[in-house]
Structure 1
Amino acid sequence: MLGAIGLDAVQEITYRELVGHGAADAAHLAGRLTLPEKDVLQALYGLEHQGLITRSAERPDCWVSAPPAVALAPLLSQQRHELECAELAAARLADEYRPEAVAPGVRDLIEVVTGAQAVSQRFSQLQLGAERELCLLIRSQPLAVSAEENTAEVLAMARGVKYRVVIGREMFPGRGGGTVDLAGLAESLGRGMEVRVVDEVPTKLVIADGSLGMLPLSDPATEPAALVARSSGLLVSLVALFEQVWSQGLPLTLGAGDEIEEAPSPGPEPIDLQILSLLLAGLTDVGVAKELDLGARTVQRRIKRLMDLSGASNRLRLGWYASEHGWITRTQG
């Protein structure tokens, strides 16, 4: 049934055995499947290469299945029309999957991925399995560095997946690392990717459809490791983090000759300056609302926008920022 997505007969029964019965080494699997150990070992290597299984963190000689709902989705999304039977098999595997069958310490909502190849595979799977949107925070070295990952981006965007990406300024030439591939970025912008730039990105992060998130667990000097989170309080926090950083970024666009340009910083609107001047004159939010014939919530929302624009954590700092940057001296309409 899973031959349509590239598994041979031995790989399929080996994978089913790991999904249904949990972690096992090659010798035990060969005994349970009544197959030569060398055939089972070859099947395990093939399944690992496709990201369907990993070695147990507690027992490196044992193998555990990756969650079928995560591991099989990218393969199915690329061949859905021709592989209806395989999709049904994957759904059955997802129903059979028992979180307690995997290695100790691994839970249903959290997965820890270790090793450069495994992390790269998970990133590609998140892209290829996305149906609506990919959100990325990129700092230091870019996440999409291999040809396979670049292909995943192209395929995902061709299916209509929306990309929103935030990049730190230190990654551009002349600003430190200079690790951004400007030609590749221009191509991505041309395909419709939305990209914003901020002074500092707090962490690398990938979120697919708001339901799966991946962030690094190790620094660049150690073996790559990442945490994959499904729908949970942690994922809600990661989504909020992305949206906060996204809201602070300035859009990048393609100008003449496909030159990458940074949009000018959005300043306060005339009504914002009026609100700010009245606040600095000592009026309360309610007083400002009455003076300008606005709703109190409208005033509070615009004050919040001013604080976001200035990066101020309180109104005292907002007043200082407005004075330093000439906001309160502008001509108001």
Structure 2
Amino acid sequence: MQTDDRRAADLEELGLTNYEARVYLALIRRDVFTAAEVAREAGVPRQRVYDVLEGLIRRQLAVLHPGRVAGYSAIAPDTAVERLIEQQRRSLGRLERLSTELARELTPTFDSGRTHTDPLDYVEVLRDANDIGERFARLQTTAERELLSFSKPPWFTPPENLAGLEASARLHAAGRTVRSLYSREVLEDPALVEVMHLFVDAGEEIRIADELPLKMIIADGSTVLCDMPDPVARDSATTSLCIRHPSLAEALALTFHSIWDRSLTLSEALKDRQPTESAAGAATGSAAAGSLEVSKAAEPDDSQA
């Protein structure tokens, strides 16, 4: 039975249907079969066997013997296989002619389509916070040469930006560039300062700018993701644009490097902030002392009373 199944599958490869293959394999077992006999032998429904036999006769793989009860017999296998191969050759020839003609007809439409581009097909507008976060992570994960970013409130912190830490470590290990400019407000939050140290340890270069125009990341000098806060809607409303345009990325990279060159390193910014904090503390102490002196001066002198 397994042998018949394999042979039937081979005949199907040559172009027969499953029923045709099974009926032909049944016919070669005997000189002549009636339709009922071959249906039983091949395991084909009797109501279908006549159509199957007619198909084999049209393919010149079986012969009809007319009589009071019609009989059917198979032609020799070598002849049958050769005829099937010839039918496949003719079919292939037709397909080759059809494919050549079809390709010739479709090519002008294809060429015409290449000249039409949507002027905004390189701009993706993102409004959902999850979508923005996913695109931000994907840009970092897929970056191969360079990441440049403007970071200003609100900031991503681990574990929210694990992709950024991994990208920093990966690109640094490969000798690539990872640089971030943070706005000065970051120094007011000790937790965020710790986060920056994590990125520095991973290989990222960080500098502190007095002000940044927007929140942005440039990946591989070709793709820009930037936040565009809505000036009309509620304070937290923002729209992010993902723009795949090397010329825009190059222009924004020039802006980045211009601010980078005049900004302090993280260590410089932290040292620069310490004297300010000390002076503020001293001023607070002086004010308190002055207040105390005024209070004392206002007290009545018992010796003169």
Larger radius of gyration: 2
What TM-score, normalized by structure 2, do the two folds share?
0.44
